[in-house]
Structure 1
């Protein structure tokens, strides 16, 4: 599918730059490019190279996908990185060369990658995560004591971040290996909260296999093994497991279990402020978003539950982009079931604006767009354009 035109790319850069209140000279300096090049790119007289686009995106604090609306470039970069990610973890339990980064620099690199995951910036993850995984494994194998425990926690976070790209782009075998690496790292960290986070992420493998009942059993075991919710991190960890259990119970068609876990998550969410704990967003807003997830997971007979939530609440802008876009994608599905085609399309467009890569790779966004186009064939070409972008046609 075609990427954005040179003129569209230039307009996007200029728009984002103005929103950031940067001059062209300031952007050029931050991106390590000449002022003449930035001017030529913005007026559509020059097509930026991949390296130049990456530099501009980094200077603007966005993923390249926010500048280039076409999907080919992001797709190719993520898929191209898969062999490198696989190679980085192939011998994860075998010591290799000493690390090249001190642990404080490694922590900074992992934290940056985690922020990209929360922001659904998979192209950035693909570019950096192989070396982060390699260096984190080296640090783990060549450290002792407290530093080794810290390295194990960093490895769990790095594996989870790599898994986000692998899972979203359909590499489920690699995703399963990364989940197992995360679980192994959690055991090395000797930290029950990290193990609980690994159990939360492991649910992806059950989603991919459509083994929802087995996944619910696995989460029940994780919930039983979780630390007592005496601290904020422990409350969030347990609450996140209940949120996840509610969704997979819905997929399994067990409405009673879904409601039970959702009630538990709601109670725990009311005890702490919304925030990111152990790399997972949790709090009252995350629980509200999952109320829509559960309703949609239970099927079209429960559509009113999703619409009721949306009438009262929408995700705040400080919720992670991936979670925000997930809410709008799931709401679009519910709106489609309710016969609200125009509202459904608007929700999909909001999801794309917030997290384009996440939206484009979400199977429900693709399915909803395809159905909308079939129902409204005579409608504007913008729907067809969206369906093409999301891969629905």
Structure 2
């Protein structure tokens, strides 16, 4: 059976607590969780869930990534992904330099297609491919948008910035993700596109969701509704509105406001019933399936694990659902199975998530924390769990 070292989230929480000169009792008094749970998290017996980490980071006034250890540099270097991050960072700095006299870019139609393909790659969890292609597409679009400005080019450039954000988040580079969202706003303004601007607010809200600043997240969602309200009532605008409601549902779940959760899920369901599957709109995966997935996620966030498990086991995911969304569901279900005492099933779901989306699963904090807890809980660690623990670097 592998032994846990001190490089897990619970151990980092312990270290930061000691640096703040707080006892476990004193820290427990500052967060909405029990002393017993804090004790178990610090020793690795229970997962340091995203909501728990957010509460502790707020109480200790440290960034979430200090506690999670992101980005996971050792694994990133071994996978040769880290070397792909620097070109992305550099491409984001081109935004205000105007046309590049040394660059010959592809025609507008090809660049728009390339930007869309990057979104598809990320949702298929081909992070390495997307990260490799992204800087060049940003450079070409930046040059073209400055040379012969058009709404379509600015929209495509905003889309590539959104892809930079998505890749950065999945690899744990949250500083780079924040820069990407600023660039997305810059391009969306030049495109005069209220739907893109609203999508950006939705993504900003998720940043504060991770950080535990739920009130700010709710305000950003409200701002997104105001922006999309400036657009005509098209299928695109309705899908973005629905996704804003889904984002609000999980934020309100973290804030333990069940009434608000139910209201947002209800509004999203009405829109999904009206327009059906709209997963093609800005690659948000909006539709009836995503409403059901967010309802289950909200139950997980409110720690209603029996309810979440019932929903998860009844879920029938369509073949068309994006791989990234499917893998996220499996990781959520793994946590739910573990929390309800079904550790073998939890491991099965993590193995399936790894098979389906290896890069996303390896760098997903929830997957890593669930694996850590399964190792701690196991009397005899099966080979499969040993392999999973070694794979994520435990």
Specify the TM-score bucket, using the shorter chain as the normaliser.
0.7 to 0.9
Does residue 220 (structure 1) correspond to residue 219 (structure 2)? The answer is no
**Structure 2 unaligned spans of 5+:** 1-73
RMSD (Å) for aligned C-alpha atoms? 1.9
Residue in 1 that maps onto 2:140:
135
TM-score of the superposed pair, with normalisation by structure 2: 0.76
Residue in 2 that maps onto 1:105:
110
Deviations 1:151-201 (A, max 9, x none): 111011111111111111111111100011111111111111111111222
Check whether the contact 1:239–1:265 (CA below 8 A) recurs between aligned residues.
Answer: yes
Mean CA deviation greater in 180-189 or 269-278: 269-278
**Structure 1 unaligned spans of 5+:** 1-70
Question: Equivalents in 1 of 2:78, 2:323: separation in Å?
Answer: 19
Residue in 1 that maps onto 2:70:
none
Residue in 1 that maps onto 2:237:
234
Question: Equivalents in 1 of 2:80, 2:245: separation in Å?
Answer: 35
Deviations 1:207-251 (A, max 9, x none): 343322211211122123323683221211101111111112222
Aligned length: 317
TM-score of the superposed pair, with normalisation by structure 1: 0.76
Give the Å deviation of 1:87: 1.1
Question: Equivalents in 2 of 1:89, 1:159: separation in Å?
Answer: 8
Check whether the contact 1:125–1:162 (CA below 8 A) recurs between aligned residues.
Answer: no
Does residue 119 (structure 1) correspond to residue 124 (structure 2)? The answer is yes
Q: Which has the higher contact order (CA 8 A, sep 6+)?
A: 2
Give the Å deviation of 1:137: 1.0
Question: Equivalents in 2 of 1:245, 1:78: separation in Å?
Answer: 32
Residue in 2 that maps onto 1:291:
295
Residue in 2 that maps onto 1:80:
83
Give the Å deviation of 1:317: 2.1
Deviations 1:313-353 (A, max 9, x none): 13222100000111111111111111111111111122222
Question: Equivalents in 1 of 2:385, 2:321: separation in Å?
Answer: 27
Give the 5 Å matches for 1:107-186: 107-144=112-149, 148-186=150-188
Query: Structure 1 197/318 Cα, relative in aligned 2: closer, same or farther at 3 Å?
Result: same
Give the 5 Å matches for 1:1-393: 72=75, 76-97=79-100, 99-144=104-149, 148-227=150-229, 230-274=233-277, 275-299=279-303, 302-391=304-393, 393=394
Question: Equivalents in 1 of 2:145, 2:81: separation in Å?
Answer: 26
